[in-house]
Structure 1
Amino acid sequence: MRTTDGLFKLLGLCLLAGVLVAGILFPVVGAAGVASNQASETVEQTSSDLADVPPPLVTTITDSGGRAIATLYDQYRVPVAPDQINDAMRWALLSAEDKAFYEHHGVNWARTLRAAVSNTAGGDTQGASTITQQYVKNYLINVVYRQDKAGQEKAQEQTLSRKLKEARIAINLETKLSKDQILAGYLNVVEFSRQIYGIGAAAHAYFDTTPEKLTVPQAALLAGLVNNPIVFDPWNHPDKATQRRNLVLDRMVSNEKLAKADAERFKTQPLGVVPDTPSKPPSNCTGAGPENGFFCQYVQDYLLKAGMSKDQLYTGGYTIKTTLDEKANHEAKLSAQTQVSKTQKNVANTLSLVRPGKDRHEVVALAANRDYGIDADQGQTTYALPSGVYNTGGAGSSYKIFTTAAVMDRGIAGIYSTIPVGSSYTSHVFTGGGAQCPATGPPLNSKWYCVSNASKNSPGSSSLQNALATSPNTAFVALEDKLGSTGPAIEMASKLGMRTTMASDTNGGAVDPKDPKSVPQSKAYGPTAKSPGFGAFTLGFSPTNGLELGNVAATLLSGGVWCPPTPLSSVTDRDGKPVQVKEEACQQVVPEGLANTMAIGMSKDDQPGGTSAKAAAAAGWNRPLLGKTGTSQNNGSATFVAGTPQMAGAAMVFRTAGSGGLCYAGVGNVRTCGEGNMFGGVTPAQTWFGAMKNILGDQPAVPLPPEDPKYTGR
């Protein structure tokens, strides 16, 4: 090196030291003034960010009794107060990272200048940050910029301007917080790897304990981790973790916070972490378990639909008390998997239960034969089978409810009106496309739409009430003809509760506004200027949401008042303050008399001759109910929607993929097949009655509401 080069480098280092000190302490002219002004422009904003952006916390979901069933989080963090940090943790951390913590005022000037000289001279990069400065940096990285890689990189870049800003914020913090508050703040935000943040979460995850109970060697291990949590991970790198722990123990001795003999004894001890992996709760709805996971999933979907972002949900530290009745959910789950094995490929059996009411429709249970989880080999799934539009085979004759309600609403027929029930029927309003159909009269269209019944024996005529119980296809297509189009039935379906279903596309998915062929079911099957709609709508061939179908029964049992099927009892924020969730208001969607009379009209399904009578008798059912079974074309899916004044719901069995039928060979023996023999009165009805018998237990039998003469047809 030439002499002049050495002199210039020495002069530069002297200037750098002056700028560093002057830029932090007060504005000056020249280069130091520029550095100081640049820092001043950003320090206040950053200080504001530190105050305004709270650290991510864990959101807890509970059942209706307040028992936690799941946690949702992006960062597993359990905040601790200063008095929860014991001396072992305090002195292990300070000995390892900042032994002069209680002497300096946010910046250790001697260490800072030494590091600045070494780094600028091209030597090894040296750290000089105090705990206060590290608190600032970690808050920026783990909180403010946790989803911004560019911001994270900027928060730890090795530049003078960044160091100046960090130092000034640290000094500012020292004027507003006590030393113990700063230490607790740092220990609440620092990362301990594997989504574990803060000493509260780390103590539990690493040692299944709390911060107050950490031993010296445990504290030394955790204190050593903050330097590089990935490199010193005790499960992946136990040797490096041990070396690092022992180094911290030595520094505690050097700092006169631990006797040398004790340190040597602690070094011989094993790391003592929990076996295999950290002990932390799952970060999503899989933590709710195989039974409650579907309910947790619905809670999440419901809140996202209500306007809460996923980031808010997973970082807000909310306590979400739900309407989940774990006893009811258990009975629903048990009944569903009794009827269809949980590992049966390509077959789902679900039960969704809702509590009727004129102010709220609380979701009580969401169950499936399959377990909620990520192990597909064990039949697990995370698809929202009981609450999403996953039954693409349709609800079958359960949709006759909507045609019936529309006919009654228009005064075309009442529940006791006599209607024709033939063995076949050719529509004079709707087209079908078939050319081989026995004519019962000259069609008005160029194509035939002919339907027949599952049973070859037809009475010729029947009351509408009896037709609902026996479910002849011909009678309801004839009633749909009297409506003139599918419009009134589709509108009634939406009113009574099939809102997400009618808004989904013909495959059950979300409508793609960019695809002209992707249209909602209400439009695809509804009337147009050139067509009265798709006449098979009343036979329920389209994708269906089981929870919404259950809520239809709840609407009828609530005097015609529709309410959104809510899973929420209350939501509070991290400070325990109530959070208002935007939910749709309840609506009187049909006259109360119509709803009550529909309930009476549907009250014979479990009686002799009704499609669910055999299942009801086998369960020993003896309560008044409204009910309607349904079976889709080719027996590929089937449903039973039913309810009592205390509880309503829908059971559905369906193929989860492909076409074809479902074959029933006894309880627990359901499989996919070519030509099926599944019916709504079998697996779905058996599932519903099997659960509801035990759920209602000793509750008194409550009568159905009285009929309204206006809708009886007498």
Structure 2
Amino acid sequence: MRKTDGLFKLLGLCLLAGILVAGVLFPIVGAAGVASNKASETVDSMSAELANVPPPLVTTITDSAGSPIATLYDQYRIPTASDQINDAMKWALVSVEDRRFYDHHGVDWKGTFRAALSNSTGGDTQGASTLTQQYVKNYLINVVYRDDEVGQQKAQEQSVARKLKEARVAIQLETQMNKDQILTSYLNVVEFSRKIYGVGAAAQTYFNTTADKLTVPQAALLAGMVNNPPVYDPWSHPERATERRNLVLDRMVENQKLAKADADRFKAEPLGVVPGGPSKPAANCTGAGPENGFFCQYVQDYLLTNGMTKDDLYTGGYTIRTTMDQNANHQAKISAEQQVDKTQKNVANTLSLVRPGKDRHEVVALAANRDYGPDADKGQTTYALPSDVSNVTGAGSSYKIFTTAAALEQHKTGIYATIQTPQSYSSNVFVGGGNNCPLVARGTHAYCLSNYGESGYGPSMSLQQALATSPNTGFVILEEQAGMGAVTDMARRLGMRNTMASNPANGGAVDPNNSQSIYNMSQQKYFAPGGASQAGLGSFTLGVSPTSGLELANVAATIMSGGVWCPPTPIAAVTNRDGSPKKINEAACEQAVPEGLANSMAVGMSKDDTEGTSKAAAAAVGWNRPMIGKTGTTQNSGSAAFVAAVPQLAGAAMVFRPDNPFGGLIDGGPGNVSATRGTADGNMFGGKTPARTWFGAMTQIMNGQPVIPLPPSDPAYEH
């Protein structure tokens, strides 16, 4: 390089230094001009961002007793106060990054000029940023612009403008914060690689300790990393990390914060990090484990549906106390797994439990035979099996609940009234049957059906008996009398809100651009008059469409709550990072049906365990509590359900084929359930696996709880 080149470069750097000084002094000397005003506004904006954008923190989810079950985060950070940080950590950082930290006022002009001269004359490249300036830069990169790649690049670009702004903000900070506050704030913001931020999280994940107990060599390793975390990662680059740690120890000696003999001794020690990588919790619901993961997933889905954003949830540092009862959830998981092995291909067995109430319906358990997790070979899934509209083949005759309630509301019948239940029936209202059904118009056949089996049903029976024994024909006749619009609306009112809003093909969102009505209509519209047919589809009462097990459980909770529907909430309380309560936008409870109707429905459904389809499952566990129940089984025995409740707790169990819905399920007894090959029929019924799952869990959960009678029926809905 020619001497003139070096001279011009030196002159340029002197000019830069002058600009920096002038820029920093701008607030004092009151320089004017459009450009200066804009620069000042930019600095003020940057200062505001530092003050008003809080660092991402970990959100903690707990059970109903307050015991943590999961953490959600984008950056793993454990806030740490100054007195919780070992002095060795503070002096290690100061010694290697900013030896004159306690002497300057935000910008080290002596260091700046020295670095500028060294860099310009071809000497060692030196940085000149103070810890205060580094704090500004790290806050912008790790907090303000953490999801903005362009913003991050601008926050660290090598330009006069950026250096000017950074320096001015650093000086401004030093007028508002003392040195210890700046140092502590820096140590809470800086990254230590692998999404680990702040010394509190680093101490925990690197050494299984806390920041106040860091040893000198541990502190030296961490202090050395902040310069370039990926390069000095002790697991990926142990040799580089060791060299960097030893350099920090030398700097501490030079800064008279460590004796040379001690430094030499520390240099001989191994890095001492936890083996295999940092010890940090999972960043999402997989951390809740195989048993609690489904509940955690519902908590997340529920909050995202009710006003929170994922970014807020994962960075807000909330404490979310849920309504999950650990014992109930555990017993539900055990029972679901006892009936269906977790690794059984294409068979999901779920159980949802909800606590009834007139002001809240609290979800206490969400369980499945499958574990929650990412490894399908181990019987794991992260799909929200219990809570989502995941059973695409339906819940079978449990939907007769809605037909019954609609008919009672219109006083078409009563729970003790006699209804027609012929062995077979051809509807004059509904159409869409096969070629074996009567022809009602050119190319159009009546909707015809029969009861399962050849005996056991008379031509008529009481509605209460029909709910227990479940003849198909009787409820299609009731559908005709009540009208499909009233029946589908009743399903929504009693609790099937998300279910009825989903499409009838796969339970997903309605696609208005799809030409097929089964995808571009909600279930509410598809089955009602004017949807798929002029009069509606009579098959609705047979439960042929996608269903949420949790919403079925909430239907039972609505009935046991005197007809009051409330959203099935998993939230007991949410607190902000400062401990103050956070309000969640939850739907208000509604009087879905008159209390007398709900109580009469409870009496009407009270015979399933003693005279109906779940009698064998109830007898097997010695069940003797008053309860309501309704089983359901779909075509080919491809899925089955059991909706049931006692006054204290309502629930629904469902077994279905989650991966390939076409075909049946074979019930060979507890632990011996499988999916048929192809489209072959099975032998599954709601009174088998689902009922056994519900009774198995509830027997344990309700042990020692008082026996409470069902409410009496209302005479207005009896006959």
Q: TM-score, normalised by structure 2?
A: 0.96
Tell me the amino acid that sits aligned with residue 46 of structure 1: M
Quick check: 1:273 aligned with 2:273? yes
Residue in structure 1 matched with residue 445 of structure 2 by the alignment: 447
Residue in structure 2 matched with residue 631 of structure 1 by the alignment: 633
Residue in structure 2 matched with residue 250 of structure 1 by the alignment: 250
CA deviation map 1:677-697 (0-9, x unaligned):
000000000000000010010
Residue in structure 2 matched with residue 46 of structure 1 by the alignment: 46
Quick check: 1:710 aligned with 2:710? no
Distance 1:174 1:424 in 2: 86
Distance 1:456 1:434 in 2: 21
Contact in 2 for aligned 1:427/1:443 (Cα 8 Å): no
Residue in structure 1 matched with residue 511 of structure 2 by the alignment: 512
Residue in structure 1 matched with residue 700 of structure 2 by the alignment: 694
Distance 1:679 1:552 in 2: 20
Distance 1:488 1:269 in 2: 77
Distance 1:612 1:640 in 2: 8
Residue in structure 2 matched with residue 136 of structure 1 by the alignment: 136
Match of 1:497 among 483, 495, 498: 495
Match of 1:510, SS state, is coil
Tell me the amino acid that sits aligned with residue 477 of structure 1: V
Residue in structure 2 matched with residue 536 of structure 1 by the alignment: 539
Match of 2:193, SS state, is coil
Pairwise CA distance, 1:469: 0.2
* Cα 1:444–1:645 shift into 2, 3 Å: farther
Distance 1:184 1:100 in 2: 17
Quick check: 1:684 aligned with 2:687? no
Deviates further, 676-685 or 455-464: 455-464
Quick check: 1:468 aligned with 2:467? yes
Distance 2:20 2:117 in 1: 11
Distance 1:298 1:592 in 2: 29
Pairwise CA distance, 1:17: 2.5
Residue in structure 2 matched with residue 105 of structure 1 by the alignment: 105
Match of 2:556, SS state, is helix
* Cα 1:335–1:116 shift into 2, 3 Å: same
Q: TM-score, normalised by structure 1?
A: 0.96
Tell me the amino acid that sits aligned with residue 511 of structure 1: V
Distance 1:218 1:655 in 2: 53
Contact in 1 for aligned 2:638/2:664 (Cα 8 Å): yes
Contact in 1 for aligned 2:9/2:120 (Cα 8 Å): no
Distance 1:475 1:582 in 2: 42
Pairwise CA distance, 1:35: 7.7
CA deviation map 1:98-118 (0-9, x unaligned):
111111111110111233345
Residue in structure 2 matched with residue 573 of structure 1 by the alignment: 576
Residue in structure 2 matched with residue 660 of structure 1 by the alignment: 663
Contact in 1 for aligned 2:608/2:614 (Cα 8 Å): yes
Contact in 1 for aligned 2:438/2:445 (Cα 8 Å): no
* Cα 1:536–1:351 shift into 2, 3 Å: same
Tell me the amino acid that sits aligned with residue 240 of structure 2: K
Deviates further, 3-12 or 160-169: 3-12
Pairwise CA distance, 1:34: 8.6
Residue in structure 2 matched with residue 564 of structure 1 by the alignment: 567
Pairwise CA distance, 1:196: 0.4
Residue in structure 2 matched with residue 161 of structure 1 by the alignment: 161
Match of 2:243, SS state, is helix
Distance 2:120 2:37 in 1: 21
* Cα 1:326–1:213 shift into 2, 3 Å: same
Residue in structure 2 matched with residue 394 of structure 1 by the alignment: 394
Distance 2:317 2:576 in 1: 6
Distance 1:435 1:509 in 2: 31
Match of 1:602 among 600, 605, 612: 605
Contact in 1 for aligned 2:6/2:120 (Cα 8 Å): no
Map 1:189-588; keep pairs closer than 5 Å.
189-437=189-437, 446-457=444-455, 458-483=457-482, 485-506=483-504, 507-517=506-516, 518-528=520-530, 531-588=534-591
Pairwise CA distance, 1:127: 1.1
Identical residues among aligned pairs (%) = 70
* Cα 1:606–1:9 shift into 2, 3 Å: closer
Contact in 1 for aligned 2:6/2:121 (Cα 8 Å): no
Distance 2:10 2:333 in 1: 77
Match of 2:256, SS state, is coil
Tell me the amino acid that sits aligned with residue 242 of structure 1: T
Residue in structure 1 matched with residue 645 of structure 2 by the alignment: 643
CA deviation map 1:611-663 (0-9, x unaligned):
00000000111000010000001100000000010000100000012200000
Distance 2:10 2:573 in 1: 66
Distance 2:153 2:633 in 1: 59
Deviates further, 615-624 or 530-539: 530-539
CA deviation map 1:139-179 (0-9, x unaligned):
00000000000000000000111111101111111111111
Distance 1:276 1:8 in 2: 52
Contact in 2 for aligned 1:374/1:382 (Cα 8 Å): yes
* Cα 1:19–1:118 shift into 2, 3 Å: farther
Tell me the amino acid that sits aligned with residue 709 of structure 1: P
Deviates further, 173-182 or 12-21: 12-21
CA deviation map 1:577-628 (0-9, x unaligned):
11010100000010000000000000000013x1000000001110000100
Map 1:170-189; keep pairs closer than 5 Å.
170-189=170-189
Unaligned 5+ runs, structure 1:
none
Pairwise CA distance, 1:294: 0.4
Distance 1:342 1:455 in 2: 32
Pairwise CA distance, 1:521: 0.8
Pairwise CA distance, 1:375: 1.1
Pairwise CA distance, 1:23: 2.2
Tell me the amino acid that sits aligned with residue 618 of structure 1: A
Match of 1:598, SS state, is helix
* Cα 1:3–1:322 shift into 2, 3 Å: closer
Contact in 2 for aligned 1:102/1:179 (Cα 8 Å): yes
Distance 2:443 2:33 in 1: 88
Contact in 2 for aligned 1:428/1:445 (Cα 8 Å): no
Unaligned 5+ runs, structure 2:
none
Tell me the amino acid that sits aligned with residue 539 of structure 1: L
Tell me the amino acid that sits aligned with residue 142 of structure 1: N
Tell me the amino acid that sits aligned with residue 53 of structure 1: V
Distance 1:513 1:437 in 2: 33
